[in-house]
Amino acid sequence: MKSGAIAVLLTAVLFTAAGLIHALPEAITAKGATVQSGNQPSAFHFGFKKSVNGKLPSIDEEGFKEILNKHDSLFLGNTERKDLYLTFDNGYENGLTAAILDVLKAKQVPAAFFVTGHYVKEEPQLLKRMVDEGHIVGNHSWSHPDMSQLNETQIASELDRVDEQVQRITGQKKMQYLRPPRGIFNERVLAASRKLGYRSVFWSIAYKDWDVNAQRGAGYAFEQVMKQLHPGAILLLHSVSRDNAQALGSIIDKAREQGYTFRSLDELVAEELPGGMGIFP
């Protein structure tokens, strides 16, 4: 084979190899960020360093603090006061939300419930009760997708369908709060939802409570929440958890004994926090 032909063949092989490398699937980092070529994250899975002994939780090492701040997202309230913000994710009903609402009513505690399209279709009476008793119904998307894989039009459709039905059923004004399903997001999700008037609401207290086949008792739920308690906490609980439903009253009582006050997300966003909204310590 002549040298010119060899050179052409080698060039073709190199370009083919480069193409294969570029076409490799995206990798997942240890922190949960999806990484494309150039190490630019295309999606994040929300996570944080938990509070220990009253110290504030941190997202400094997770790689998404800047874009959360940029789009006025929340994961903490005012850390200078002992305020708590109680939120629930309601993907489906497990027969426990009525009991949760009973406790909240008896204790006079506001909460936010983030609901999916499935929940909206199946549980209109519970939605009405949430709003009638002064709680916020937030958006958890219509079909619970990985929203980082959607374009702006698809994101709007996911959110608008929930909002329209909740307004029709409950009379609640337009939704203002979004919790991305499974905490997966990218900047497109935050920007598109902010354009629609939403603040994305993440959390600073959570534990593995969503597995209905792995409930460990009310005492366990109480311990998991109380050991993470800190000023300005946004609590994420799943309404399908029997442990949460049974522990909720004790959690509220003990938090109040420690000087905490439960407030709504509306109170949080109406407040002028030090440094402005969306600025995390």
Domain annotation covers residue 170: yes
Mean pLDDT value across the chain:
85
- We report the CATH number of the domain holding residue 227 as 3.20.20.370
Residues 13-35: pLDDT tens digits?
Answer: 333 332 222 222 222 222 344 43
148 pLDDT above the threshold of 60: yes
Domain annotation covers residue 45: no
Domain annotation covers residue 42: no
Active-site positions? 89, 238
Whether 234 contacts 59, CB under 8 Å: no
pLDDT value for 25: 25
Domain annotation covers residue 125: yes
Phi (first) and psi of residue 146, to 5 degrees? -75, 100
Q: How confident is the model at residue 273 (pLDDT cuts 50, 70, 90)?
A: low
Which of 1-5, 142-146, 243-247 comes out lowest in average pLDDT?
1-5
pLDDT value for 5: 42
Query: From its phi and psi, is residue 38 left (phi > 0), alpha (psi between -120 and 50) or beta?
Result: left
Report how many domains make up the chain.
Answer: 1
Domain annotation covers residue 9: no
For residue 85, give its domain range: 52-270
Residue of 120, 265, 151, 134 lying closest to 199 (CA atoms): 265
4 pLDDT above the threshold of 60: no
pLDDT value for 272: 58
- The rounded percent of the chain whose pLDDT value lies above 90 is 74
